[in-house]
Chain A
Amino acid sequence: MTTQSARERDLIHVAIVGLLAWTVPGGGYWALGDRRRALVVGLTITVTFLMGLYIGSLGVVDQVGAKYWYAAQVMTSPAVFLLGRYGASGVYAVYGRPYEIGQIYTSIAGLLNLLCIINALYIAHIRQPHALESTT
């Protein structure tokens, strides 16, 4: 019973780390106490995403016309859902090279954050005292 509740606590801890990592780029590492890594990752991903918006405007986050790109962009942070609403309004329509480059920047930022989410989850899992028990 005690072991099971401890495992549940571990699972909740890992879930919180994953949620923080998605909410704020680098947040997962921050929660794990790795502040320097959190700052490096958070700043880099945020700047990359903002550069994408700067190059192509808000129109690059398009939840209607570019669903697959949007799925990658949303990995940056849940805040992208809000931007998607503005992008879908069609007011900030953008075409050509700025659209392509802006989409690539914002989507790569999202995919890099996905890599960091998975990495933070893995670190949180292996640091758990019950992690070894569950794998053996």
Chain B
Amino acid sequence: MIDLVTSVLASFFQPERIGTTPQSMLWMLPLTASVAIVYKATKVRTIEAKAFFKETALLFASIAVFMALAGVILCAIAWFFNEKWPGLRGY
């Protein structure tokens, strides 16, 4: 038990290993969930489990989808200027 507590506490003093990989983008999902939960909690009149879960899930999905779309559009713009634009300019 003490070992478990010690290892949990120790993890707060040592950073996690996160590479610059596409998978590291998945770290946005828990944060998106937090934002959706807190935002909805401040907006709804009363918190009823079922309705609250539904509204939060909807907001979470909307944020995630729009962020993914924004990522795809930015990637497309970067690809265009790196791959196509020099060809069009005759470089």
Contact (Cβ within 8 A) A115 B38: yes
Q: Closest residue of chain B to A93, judged by CB?
A: B15
In the complex, per-residue mask of A35-62: 1 if CB is within 8 Å of any chain B CB, else 0: 0110011001101101101111111000
B22 to chain A, nearest CB (A): 12
Question: Which of A36, A37, A47, A98 interacts with B17 by CB under 8 Å?
Answer: A98
A55 to B15, CA, bound (A): 6
Contact (Cβ within 8 A) B30 A44: no
A23 within 8 A of B: no
Neighbouring B residues of A99 by C-beta, 8 Å: 15
B80 to chain A, nearest CB (A): 26
Neighbouring B residues of A45 by C-beta, 8 Å: 34, 38
A111 to chain B, nearest CB (A): 9
Contact (Cβ within 8 A) B38 A112: yes
B82 within 8 A of A: no
Total cross-chain contacts (CB, 8 A): 74
Which listed segment binds A: B6-14, B57-65, B66-74, B83-91? B6-14
A91 to B30, CA, bound (A): 28
Interface residues on chain B, number (Cβ under 8 Å)? 23
Q: Decide if the interface of chain A is mainly helix, strand, loop or mixed.
A: helix
Contact (Cβ within 8 A) A55 B34: no
A74 within 8 A of B: no
| Chain B residues within 8 Å of A, Cβ to Cβ | 11-20, 24, 27, 30-31, 34-35, 37-39, 41-42, 47, 52
| Chain A residues within 8 Å of B, Cβ to Cβ | 36-37, 40-41, 44-45, 47-48, 50-51, 53-59, 92, 94, 96-99, 101-102, 104-105, 108-109, 112, 115-116, 119
A-B contacts, 16 of them at CB < 8 A, read A40-B52, A41-B41, A44-B41, A50-B12, A55-B15, A57-B12, A57-B15, A58-B13, A96-B18, A96-B20, A98-B17, A99-B15, A104-B31, A115-B38, A116-B38, A119-B42
17 extra A-B contacts, CB within 8 A, seeds A40-B47, A115-B42:
A37-B41, A37-B47, A45-B34, A51-B30, A55-B18, A55-B27, A56-B15, A57-B12, A59-B15, A97-B18, A97-B24, A101-B24, A102-B15, A105-B31, A109-B34, A112-B34, A115-B38
